[in-house]
Structure 1
């Protein structure tokens, strides 16, 4: 992953960047020098001949070219962050380190102001203070890590960067930035990345109190280490444990969570962390969206399903007796930390539940990955392969969510298998069967429906049927799962308009399309085709 250095002119980006690149044995790119080399002009000459606006356009063009790099150290220009589109590119280019220092300190470091066009005219001190006031918020916006460089040598700063970008000797995790019109956020992937929670939050949230919402089983295994990390960084922590299962996604426990937050003294600038699976993330996100009209929300998913699905995208909510997720909101987390360490203790059923969402992502957007997953032996997957698999699934969801954050169109493609899947969960009273297991069965039957309607080629359905039966043959539905009972829940599905809406696949690797059918059509098809023995 690239490391990008940002900061004021004179912050040491170029000098520190060169040393860092040597230490890490990486290529070094100086954005200003790259522009000078390709134009044959100095930065000062470009400003004099064409003006600052022209120079900023050049910067943005060169930033785009840098996306070809994957393991470089990159020093940006001091003003690169002033353009909104450039900030977006910087966030997506890699891990961003803000080399922070006060204008007074930087002035003492600067020797040749003639090479810095914005400081060469007028009073350099006043100009630098003006730049600091204008740009500091932008540096902070793009930064993953903020390092104060005052009173430290270049070598000490480099060592700080190396220490901050490693975890117990492991290289820093990969990063994916979720580009939204507002409230975009980074997702970090890697082993033991959760041990960096305090590091990330220290510079990104104003409040000093953090309420961790979790469940007893996962908190006993990993919660204390998370608390210790946050406490070491100066945060005061509280813990609230939800019960196991979908029962936690109810107004009863949300009200108890409000009481706990008030008792703990949680204020608007403080933070709540969802530390658990999809149930914890959904309930905690709904709490975060509604408590004090919205507080900082961090996702640390601990199940495969929550890593690849519910932790990214901002859908939060709770259930009603009449159906799943009928009360909720769109509320984006500030950061998502996907730590694959937690997969080591995840029960096999939970792994398979998450696998269904991974397979769904590949079915709708990547034929090659769907084919690969159908052949792979899960027991032989190594930690790094799990990381790549998870990142691939999250990337697919991120592309969709970036275009359609609030499910007004394209985002509905993510609902493949969910119309029938949610109905199966509802018939079970949201107990006994896991969400991912129900989605797996939903994928099987909705793709069969698509085949029967002449949309999906039979040979493609057979591939999907093979994958589901290979991994989920242990599922046996009880006698309450009848066409009539399934229909009752499908009719209440929040995705419906006038009729029941399905997302039907036409080709593996391509987005499914919506199809509305009335209740009679659905019941007729289910009565003719549905048998519990098929599961």
Structure 2
């Protein structure tokens, strides 16, 4: 399956195919001429796929080297980015060379950020190996690192030259990481796709979802493609993709990065903001129950004992959706349809009760 993201200045393909990772050298050769390539990956993915990817690239005429970061959200930092800059310089990379992000959302965000800022921009490819990255973070060109103040506070918009999605890599994921991706799938269905919602309702469990991975990943990629094409720089309709994320990111920050997964934070965020919106008569009655039942079906949380209202409020005041003392929040009009609501930042306190 191939989907093209068509943008004014840079279009690229998402290729979704089981077993494709073994062919990454040939796939890359269709996009780039032989050159130096740095594969950025983490300690988990390195053990599974790094050597295979490096060998495939060598066979295709590339000169690949590997930089490995510690697995986990703590690696998405300016400190680690600086270490990679030094490595790229030592390897002699120039603007005619490239970077491949091989891993989950952390690696994709970090590698994309480094690629878009080193020498003012190298080209790069996304090779997501987690469900979360395959359905969401590898697509659309958002790159970022975290600071102590907020998640994704420092970043760029930089589109890759291509995205290789091999659902077979999901077979090695621990179940918590599968659920993390399912949270984003639920989000996509809740804001934009009633058919996908019905499909999720019909599934038995996480393993059943993985059996239908190609269809489900493709459905999510189509949603992401549509909003990115309409709003590449996140000023309008693309904000809908942030459903559950404002509170979710604040939870990740206040709990300490890595305590809650991104997907767990988003699941709690979706449930919380929908429950309060329902109480305010901004979302139809019964929506929270439908949402919670699907979230809990896949063993994701809707609450946490890490809830500290004042700390959460302080964290979300640094959210990128905050502008001029106001913040955009995403509420459900119904299952499969969402809206952007602009409120004073102080009003967010009521959504944290």
The TM-score, its normalising length taken from structure 2, stands at 0.95
Match for 2:220 among 377, 380, 393?
393
Contact kept in structure 1, 2:249 and 2:266, CA below 8 Å: yes
Match for 1:495 among 321, 329, 344?
321
CA distance in 2, matches of 1:293, 1:204: 21
- Deviation, 1:299, is 0.4
In structure 1, runs of 5+ residues without a counterpart are 1-173, 528-535
- Deviation, 1:489, is 0.8
Residue equivalent to 1:455:
282
Contact kept in structure 2, 1:207 and 1:271, CA below 8 Å: no
Distance 1:526 1:216, change over 3 A: closer
Match for 1:238 among 62, 65, 77?
65
Give CA-to-partner distance per residue, 1:285-312, whole Å, 9 cap, x none: 0000011111110000010000011100
- Deviation, 1:319, is 0.8
- Deviation, 1:206, is 3.3
Residue equivalent to 2:193:
366
- Deviation, 1:182, is 1.2
How does 1:204-223 map onto structure 2 within 5 Å? 204-223=31-50
The worse-fitting range, judged by mean Cα deviation, of 482-491 and 505-514 is 505-514
- The SS at the match of 1:513 is strand
- The SS at the match of 1:261 is helix
Aligned: 1:376 with 2:203: yes
- Deviation, 1:491, is 1.2
- Deviation, 1:474, is 5.8
Contact kept in structure 2, 1:312 and 1:398, CA below 8 Å: yes
The TM-score, its normalising length taken from structure 1, stands at 0.64
Residue equivalent to 1:161:
none
- The SS at the match of 1:323 is coil
How does 1:125-164 map onto structure 2 within 5 Å? none
- Deviation, 1:207, is 4.8
CA distance in 1, matches of 2:351, 2:44: 42
Aligned: 1:227 with 2:227: no
Residue equivalent to 1:306:
133
Aligned: 1:275 with 2:125: no
- The SS at the match of 2:80 is helix
CA distance in 2, matches of 1:302, 1:450: 35
Residue equivalent to 2:250:
423
CA distance in 2, matches of 1:513, 1:382: 29
Give CA-to-partner distance per residue, 1:357-403, whole Å, 9 cap, x none: 01111111111211321331234527661111001001001000001
CA distance in 2, matches of 1:436, 1:383: 17
- The SS at the match of 1:213 is strand
Residue equivalent to 1:332:
159
- Deviation, 1:483, is 1.2
Structure with more contact order per residue of length (Cα contacts < 8 Å, sep ≥ 6)? 2
CA distance in 1, matches of 2:316, 2:114: 27
Residue equivalent to 1:468:
295
Match for 2:272 among 437, 445, 454?
445
- Deviation, 1:271, is 1.1
Match for 2:304 among 477, 494, 497?
477
- Deviation, 1:515, is 3.1
- Deviation, 1:473, is 5.4
Aligned: 1:323 with 2:140: no
Distance 1:359 1:476, change over 3 A: closer
CA distance in 1, matches of 2:227, 2:104: 22
Contact kept in structure 2, 1:490 and 1:500, CA below 8 Å: no
- The SS at the match of 1:421 is helix
Distance 1:380 1:259, change over 3 A: closer
- Deviation, 1:324, is 0.8
In structure 2, runs of 5+ residues without a counterpart are none
Distance 1:339 1:409, change over 3 A: same
The worse-fitting range, judged by mean Cα deviation, of 275-284 and 363-372 is 363-372
CA distance in 2, matches of 1:250, 1:453: 38
Contact kept in structure 1, 2:322 and 2:345, CA below 8 Å: no
Distance 1:240 1:525, change over 3 A: closer
Residue equivalent to 1:152:
none
